[in-house]
Structure 1
Amino acid sequence: MSMTPEQATRFADVAGRIVTNVEQVLLGKTFVIRLAVTAMLSEGHLLLEDVPGTGKTSLARALAQSVQGSTNRIQFTPDLLPGDISGISVYDQRAQEFEFHRGPVFANIVLADEINRASPKTQSALLEAMEESAVTVDGVTHRLAQPFMVVATQNPIEQAGTYRLPEAQLDRFLMRTSIGYPDHAATVRILETSAAPSVAVPVASVVPAATVTEMAALARTVHVDPVIADYVARLVEGTRTAGEVRLGVSVRGAMGLMRASRVLAAVNGRHYVTPDDVKALAEPVLAHRMVLDPEAEFDGVSPSSVVSQLLVETPPPADRVPR
């Protein structure tokens, strides 16, 4: 059963209220907030590549507060262990049995701050959680909270003492984007309300966490015309044949672009996907999944520029009457 126009209108209203609510603490960043909300409603994870002090923690916290969810922040360091993320089993002498102590990954929104500063072994502790929404400790599988979303950050400037994220883990992130510095007007507004240092501004909840799970299920019923699926397939195949690319986008990436496009269509109040939905999400969904040829990187080519060129070279389908 496909989403109805009335359901799409209600979906857009709720999503819009979440975006407006988060914007109270992240001024002038509507586009990034909409991407984060789209990722959350797509049941995906978000990677933020940005310099310190741009509001990454505020975004994750405000997003969790808006959906009445819990949030935890994990500061990734070289000495962080996998058990520090997923949790550990501790022997209880009184009960004479092992008791599982949950780690910080058991939250609705988990901020993995500077994820590339931890060792690959520790980074991999997030893989099962991100893919299966569960962690396995001592052979026992523990389900995570629903909804569950990882917002990971890494500093693209300072690379000393960091470990590059492997392609397998990058592929687990539905989107990659950056917040960036606010414009002049937003900076002035921030300064006018910054009397107290480092005080988090709480925001009221807009919807319960269960509603987010319901909206994610409803978004899966957004209609996708076969020509849209063909368009996504051609874009993904283009990343694999581009001369500058050594490793193109996986099938998981193509499925992620389709899933996110469904959500964005509903966020925009439509019960069907258009080529513009795909275009708007192509760069944040596809760019981080590509590995460029070293010579292309040396010449200044970036994954984002490859996606932009593909959008120009790949003709979108003609408008079709939605079902």
Structure 2
Amino acid sequence: MKTKQIPLISAMIASLIISGACAKTPEVNPTGSIKPTQTESTTSPTETRPSVTETTVETKNLDGDTLMKEGSLFKMADIDGDGFDEKVVLDPVKTGSPSVYTSFTIRVGDSSIEAHYEDFEPDFSIVDIDDSDEFMEIAVSSYGPSSDLNTAFYHYDGKDLKFMGEIQGFYGMTEWGEGELKIDGSGKIRTLVKTYFIQTWFHEEEYLLKGDLSFEKVGKDLYTMNTDVVLLGDLTLYKERGGAEPGIALKKGDEVLLKDTDDKEWCSVVTKSGETGWIAVDEDYKVRGTSYYTYDLFEGLTIAD
């Protein structure tokens, strides 16, 4: 198995040691600005740190909205496993007033991909999803509307860039701490996803990197919801998941726990006495076998966009 490394630029170190305290005047490019340089930083096994700012450009589109391509960033890393560093560049673009980041272009060699994401982080990470292959991947995260966190992944094979897909969750540091999307080199990505079954809630999920460079949701038979609710109407539970035989009869005002769900159709309901039954919910939030929608039957749910 070939070991993958992310070389850090260290040119001029030897000459700096020899010259000692002798100061150097920064090299100036033809425009008169100081050339940017990369600095060393500590890296984790699956990513490189933020890159150098290269240029600042401002233009306007046909509607007169300001388009600001500011702070083009680059990283040097061997992402195709050929033993040589590639220069990976992110060109972020802001629009509107007040301006927000709405699109970007990823460039490696002669290949590039443009993408549009609302309120994305103007940075990117080089990650190693599967350390058993020679490739590394490019990850760009966004905050999205209504905090719909998302990370887009890109693959470079030495010639062409390819969009691999996107997964809910933010990779790297956010303003409130470390993001919930985790990469450990196992070939799986672990994250927290927002779902809308019965209510708006979150659960852990895993995705597997496939040979065609797409992602497959691993999934679980049941996810734990654990939401305490109060019944706003009478309800008869089913005895078994997937069955049709009636079971426990509940009354308006009863307190129950919505416990385990397949996040598609069925959810277990636990009474105060510890008895368990099941409900089935259709795609339109309608509780099967009743005239109720979930948000009309259960007090204590979270309903959000």
TM-score for both structures, normalised by structure 1 = 0.24
Q: Which has the larger radius of gyration?
A: 2
The higher relative CO (CA closer than 8 Å, separation ≥ 6) is in: 1
Structure with the higher fraction of residues in strand conformation: 2
TM-score for both structures, normalised by structure 2 = 0.25
